[in-house]
Structure 1
Amino acid sequence: MPLPPHLVGYAVPLVAKPGQRISFHLSAGPATRAAIRIVRLACTNPEPVGPPERLEPAGFGPAGHLDLARQPLDPGSRLEVDLGETLLPERFTLALAAMPRRTTQAATLLALHTGERESVALALDPEGNALIRLGGHVTDLGITLAKQHWHLLSVSVDRTTGEITTRHRQVAPGMPADRQGAALSLPRSFTPLPASMPVRQLTIGAGTPPAGAGFDGLIDLPLVFGGLHDLLETLTNPEAEALLAQDPALIAGFSFRATGASLQPELQGRFAGKMIHQPLTAVKGVRWTGETHDRRLRPAHYSAMQFNADAMLDAGWPETLGVTAPETLTSGVYALELSDGEGHRGFAPFFVSAAGSPKQGLAFLAPTFSYLAYCNAPEAMRGPPSRRGLLPAEALLDAANGRFGRSLYERFADGSGVVVTGERKPLLSIGPDFRLWGFAADSLFTDWLERQELACDLLTDHDLHHDGEAALNGVRVLITGSHPEYWSTRMWDALSGWLTKGGRLLYLGGNGIYWRTAVAEDGAIEVRRAEDGTRAFIGEPAEYVHAFTDEAGGLWRRLGRPPQALLGVGMAAQGFSRSTLYRKHDEARADETAFVFEGVSEEHFGAGGLMGGGAAGFEIDRYDLALGSDPGAWLLASSFDHAPDVLRTKEEMLSYVPPFRDARARSDIVLTVTETGGAVFAVGSIAWIGSLADPGSDGAAARITGNVIRRFLDPAPLPRKCLQKQTDPED
């Protein structure tokens, strides 16, 4: 389906520092002349209530008009290998192990070519029948590759006699090689070809660029050999890599057990592979037997690569223009705005960070990894819809149907979950014209800070990950966004170290520090959704270790670092029909915590809000001693009267139970003061920020937030509660 008229683009890098050059990669459909300017995204509220959208001229960069062309979208993860000037011998053998996951369209497993001219390829037709293409001739190999099973293929070609011998064996996943079915040997013939066949490139997982014919499934140990060989036993040999590396007949061969974001898996080190759209590594290969679930223990069991024909990680568009952020530029969120004069507009967003040189002492931590995880998400994963109905960026995203890249809340066409996402593609949910979820919700808060005349620097997840604790140098008070869900190990360690040294944090969101996240140098993030957690799909069994970092993936809670240990609260429940109020506890009336509730005398507070009509809602976090909450924390308030759809998260439940009035499905407001003078004020609710911005709310969330920020900025010591027996509210 063709896309509607659109203006889109992306900035590289997504997060920059003053003085750094930013390149913009833009596309228009159809080609058009567009007005351009750089704006500060001061507020992107799409709702008819609350603060209005506010886009301010940035005061730097280009302004005027620009002719924009439509840029191509070339999906499909694959590995491209430059072979230099290589002559394919008269007799050669192609071998690999393949597991198709979708066989409803033609697909290429492996292709050797010169420029745009294909020399030889192993392929599948839409029914899964194996083919070989030789110099424009197609030969059916007489084998059908069943989905979700491994298939060993060794195809020997004698170009002088026109003989093809195909050896094949189907392998059940997880079964030892000696318990698999028998091999078949099938002869075929074709018209003899000239002896000289130069090849310059090998493509694995797709056909000759830029053609499609992408493969959906797994490929293990793709090999190109000189001579006629039966390589079926080699493909299942636990020592295959060592044997192949010494074999003089090997022209090119790859094992993907040496994994990472920058992959060089060639067995003899002669050729470098370039990954397009990051085909997934650290996945089970044909040699996996089930004896281990950790690739670090048996690397040979994880030598496969997963390909997806509809993957789009890096659009790869050429640079349209570039600008340098002024050295004096105030940190914040900016974008190159595009408009065509016919009501269409688009944005290429970027963040300018104050990391390393803050000016205010107060900083907002933009959860950029969470923005990327949800970016371009489908309708069901965008949060409740806007009061205005379907917004323009969402309508374009729905029409694109994954062509601009998928979020980490989706599956590819073959049913496999999306594990890696990145920033080098249109980021339609980071900017105006998108509902109040993630970025747009956080812009309500930064707008509120400005209206309160609370000067604030901007930092990002990228900074905290790459710079560690040094990113927080000079920051006295740090504030999170509404949904800081995705955290790397470096981020966790940096925040922990900073708090230990006396840093003060306001956690103004819910579902924070939930999934461990691995990060590549180019800004791509990887999330392995292991055996528990609220998620859109379940990770493949035994594939819970990140390719980028070698770390076990999954929930921080299951990894032994629950968010309660850092924030005082952690994910408890979710439900989106409506939000609700809080009720004060006795400790809210203590002299030591009086500053929190100055001007908020009501027992019940938090009525009204742009996100569900209350301050407590959507995804909510609970104080829990069993999960690491500080027994010396001040438990100030808890939410109540949640809607029936607010249910505890599945990691909390040991079995299926009918809905019941669950005292643990709640949000807690907690103040934790550390022994070293650090402090965390946590509200445990995504909807809290929406209450700040609603002119019809009771004003309590705004008053409390302002009170805590101003007190945290005051260097005077905060009161630490005398340690005594602390109980959870429902006990």
Structure 2
Amino acid sequence: MAADQIRRWESGALAHGVSDPFGQGPLPWLRGEPEYLGDDGQVVPWYVDLAASSGETPRRSHLPGPRTADDVRRQIKGFASAGAVSPGEPIDFRITVDPPQEFTVDVYRIGHYGGDGASQVSASPRLSGIAQPAPLAAGRTISCHHWWQSWRLQIPPHWRTGAYVAVLTTVDGYRSHVPFTVRDPAARADLLLLLPDVTWQAYNLYPEDGRTGASLYHAWDEAGRLLGEEEAAGTVSFDRPYAGAGLPLHIGHAYDFVRFAERYGYDLAYADARDLHAGRVDPSLYRGLVFPGHDEYWSAPMRRAAEGARDMGTSLVFLSANTMYWQVELASSPAGDPDRLLSCRKPRGDTRGRGSLWRDLGEPEQLVLGVQYAGRVPQPSPLVVRNAGHWLWEATGAAEGDRVEGLVAGEADRYFPRTALPESTERILLAHSPYEAADGRRCHQETSLYRSPSGAYVFASGTFAWSPALDRPGHVDARIQRATANLLDRICKHG
């Protein structure tokens, strides 16, 4: 394989970079100034610098820093035994190091932290690394379930629930990441944040090496060419690292909301999508469930849980687009661990084949969201305010027809008049935003809010760019921050 071909895959975002409307690849939530480059030219995340949590001045881009591991040479890559774990429970990490050498694991919690964005909460001793066996392949399904355990982290009972990242660093300076969630299923809170780990795994192309990796979107042929959905995996495994730097492609959209919500002191609990699937979420403990990132892949138990929450009076907040689009199934790994295999039936060549779109199965996503997926947005476009007198827009300064530049991006939802709507006592569209599709068609995006007969609110932003507008440098918009606060405050106080 030529060196230029290898470099194409080191970013971890070759296959899907175009779907990130902000062009920041596999680490879209990086800070602007406190970044630095490794000696291979890769951007290294600001939050892995210990100085960022100690109040010292972070290293700047002209100073040397760690290098990002890649999927070709696998300098250091790893994954966790579970997506979410409770305080007092263990979480195991399986890590490969090539060449074998010592490494460390530093654990960070994502949050506002005075603008740092994360705080270090734990550090391992130096650990002995080994080069694990090559990933196993069963058809297009790639798994590393046969890797040896490298380190066990016993979650201290005092740790806060939240989104965490384990930072893996070799002695010779290569670095990778493993995200996980700390949950407390019995704890009451105003809002439960559900991190979309099912969708994250659907996009995971590990190993992104031009030979063996596969996601639900892509795979490689023998010549190293990237193939589309017709040749992609039908089943993917959670028992493998994430491609590239080790963080999911769309993780930044969720972390933008996490920083915003923690900055303003909302009472939060955390879980992931597989907790919702497995029945570990009790909606009666919360006033609202928040889906803060791109959340495209839903199992039937996930959907039933969300519908049940709404119907019992727990509000639902969807801060992205293309939500609840594909129906998926979860199954145990070959080792018997539950919910480690993700399957989705997509049409494969035969145009008469029936896939697993919820709308094609008789349950359009509009029945839950109030709107549904309309298509991709090639270039960021303005969100155009509608019904500016509504309480959502109160104190934002937004007037009817005002344009919030760049807020319709990535993908968009809209109301489909010929598709059934959910039962509601109130329903309103709060944005109606024209944009041009890739083929030149005139399309539009819409933001929806309705109130269920149970009293629950259901909000759908209808765009990828809503969460980034809350706390991502260069994309923050005070009107969207205030509108989101209006929504959350109403849910927390009156939901």
Shorter-chain TM-score tier: 0.7 to 0.9
Given that residues 42 and 446 in structure 1 are in contact (C-alpha distance below 8 angstroms), is that contact kept between their aligned partners in structure 2? yes
Q: For residue 684 of structure 1, what is the aligned residue in structure 2?
A: 462
CA apart distance, 1:634: 3.0
- Determine the C-alpha separation between the residues in 2 that align with 1:577 and 1:442: 21
**Residues of 1 paired with 2:329 and 2:77: CA distance?**
27
1:431/1:440 contact within 8 Å kept = no
Distance in 2, matches of 1:629 and 1:32, equals 58
C-alpha contact 1:23 1:320 (8 A) present in aligned 2? yes
CA separation of 1:401/1:56 partners in 2, compared to 1, >3 Å: closer, same or farther? farther
Tell me the CA shift for residue 514 of structure 1. Answer: 0.3
Matched residue, 1:75: 136
1:175 is aligned to none
Contact kept? 1:406, 1:418, Cα under 8 Å: yes
Of 29, 32, 54 in structure 1, the residue corresponding to residue 117 of structure 2 is 54
Q: For 1:193-592, what aligned pairs fall within 5 Å after superposition?
A: 308=139, 311-340=141-170, 342-354=172-184, 356-376=185-205, 398=208, 400-401=209-210, 403=212, 405-411=213-219, 413=221, 416-428=231-243, 437-467=249-279, 470-521=281-332, 522=338, 523-530=340-347, 538=348, 553-585=355-387, 588-589=388-389
Contact 1:32–1:340 (Cα < 8 Å) also in 2: yes
Structure 1 position 710 matched with structure 2 position 492? no
Paired position in structure 2 for 1:601: 398
Which residue of the partner structure matches residue 28 of structure 2?
A: none
Asked if structure 1 preserves the Cα contact closer than 8 Å seen for 2:192 and 2:289, the reply is yes
TM-score by length of 1: 0.52
3-state secondary structure, aligned to 2:404:
coil
Q: Deviations over 1:333-357 (max 9, x none)?
A: 2233221354421123222223x31
Letter in 2 for 1:602: A
CA contact (8 A) 2:211 2:221 kept: no
Q: Is the 8 A contact 1:366 1:481 kept in 2?
A: yes
Give the superposition deviation at 1:463: 0.8
Cα shift at 1:34? 1.7
Q: Return the match for 2:95 from 7, 15, 26.
A: 26
CA distance in 2: counterparts of 1:698 and 1:39, whole angstroms: 27
Q: Unaligned stretches of 5+ in structure 2?
A: 7-71, 333-337
Distance apart, 1:682 and its partner CA: 1.5
Q: Distance in 1 between matches of 2:295 and 2:412?
A: 12
Q: Which has the larger radius of gyration?
A: 1
May I ask how many residue pairs the two structures share in their alignment? 411
Deviations 1:408-439 (A, max 9, x none): 1113538733111121111236855x7xx421
For the 8 Å contact 2:176–2:245, the answer to whether it is kept is no
User: 1:451 offset after TM fit, Å?
Assistant: 1.5
Deviation at 1:694, TM superposition (A): 4.3
**Cα distance change, pair 539–501 in 1 and its aligned pair in 2 (3 A):** farther
Whole-Å Cα distance in 1 between the matches of residues 416 and 245 of structure 2? 33
Letter in 2 for 1:426: P
Shift of the 606–527 alpha-carbon distance from structure 1 to 2, 3 Å rule, reads farther
How much does 1:374 deviate? 0.8
Give CA deviations for 1:676-727 in whole Å, capped at 9, x if unaligned: 21110121111111222245544211110011000111126xxxxxxxxxxx
Equivalent of 2:126 in 62, 65, 71: 65
Q: Quick one: which of 700, 716, 721 aligns to 2:479?
A: 700
SS of equivalent to 2:322? coil
Contact persistence 2:210–2:220 (CA under 8 A)? no
Instruction: Give distance in 2, aligned partners of 1:76 and 1:698.
Output: 45
Superposed displacement of residue 560, structure 1 = 1.0
Which secondary structure state, in structure 2, belongs to the residue aligned with residue 473 of structure 1? Answer: helix
1:507 Cα deviation from its structure 2 partner: 1.2
The CA deviation at 1:13 is: 1.6
- 1:48-101 Cα offsets, whole Å, 9 max, x none, are xxx976342224xx5221121211214332xxxxxxxxxxxxxxxxxxxxxxxx
- Counterparts in 2 of 1:55 and 1:429: CA distance versus 1, 3 Å: farther
RMSD: 2.8
In structure 2, what residue type is equivalent to 1:634? Answer: R
Say whether the 8 Å CA contact 2:328–2:342 is kept in structure 1: yes
Counterpart residue identity of residue 56, structure 1: S
Q: Report what 2:450 is aligned to.
A: 672
C-alpha contact (below 8 Å) 2:433/2:446 kept by paired residues:
no
1:617 matched to 2:409: yes
Deviations 1:579-604 (CA, angstroms, capped at 9, x unpaired): 3222313xx42xxx325433333334
**How far apart, CA to CA, are the structure 2 residues paired with 1:461 and 1:705?**
22
Alpha-carbon distance, 1:670 to partner: 1.6
1:35 corresponds in structure 2 to: 104
Deviations 1:301-346 (A, max 9, x none): xxxxxxx2x6412341011121222233222222332213544211
Q: Is the 8 A contact 1:568 1:682 kept in 2?
A: yes
Deviations 1:585-643 (A, max 9, x none): 3xx42xxx3254333333345635xxxxx222211111224212347543233343424
Alpha-carbon distance, 1:485 to partner: 0.5
Tell me the SS of whatever aligns to 1:442. Answer: helix
- Indicate the SS of the match to 2:459: strand
% identical equivalent positions: 24
Seen in structure 2, the aligned counterparts of structure 1 residues 541 and 16 have a Cα distance that, compared at 3 Å, is farther
Tell me if structure 2 keeps the 8 A contact 1:363–1:478.
yes
Q: 1:539 to 1:14 in 2, by over 3 A?
A: farther
Q: Matched residues in 2 for 1:443 and 1:595: separation?
A: 23
Write out per-residue CA displacement over residues 560-580 of structure 1, whole angstroms, 9 at most, x where no aligned residue: 111111111100121232232
Q: In structure 2, do the counterparts of structure 1 residues 639 and 417 end up closer, same or farther at CA, with 3 Å as the change threshold?
A: same
Relative to 1, partners in 2 of residues 1:508 and 1:337: Cα closer, same or farther, differing over 3 Å?
Answer: same
Q: Is the 8 A contact 1:311 1:412 kept in 2?
A: no
One-letter code aligned to 2:441: F
- State the partner residue of 2:441: 660
Return the letter of the residue paired with 1:635. Answer: I
Secondary structure of residue in 2 paired with 1:317: coil
Q: Distance in 2 between matches of 1:463 and 1:639?
A: 34
TM-score by length of 2: 0.76
- Say if 1:39 and 1:56, in contact at 8 Å, map to a contact too: yes
Question: 1 CA distance for matches of 2:193 and 2:320?
Answer: 12
**Partner Cα separation in structure 2 for residue 606 and residue 678 of structure 1:** 29
Q: SS of the counterpart of 2:301? A: helix
- Give the secondary structure class of the aligned counterpart of 2:379: strand
Matched AA of 1:623: Y
Check whether the contact 2:315–2:491 (CA below 8 A) recurs between aligned residues.
yes
Alignment map for 1:142-181 (pairs within 5 Å): none
Native 8 Å contact 1:375 1:428 kept in 2: yes
CA distance in 2, matches of 1:346, 1:339: 7
* Aligned mates of 2:116, 2:145 — CA distance in 1: 29
Distance 1:515 1:625 in 2: 21
Alignment of 1:635 onto 2:428: yes
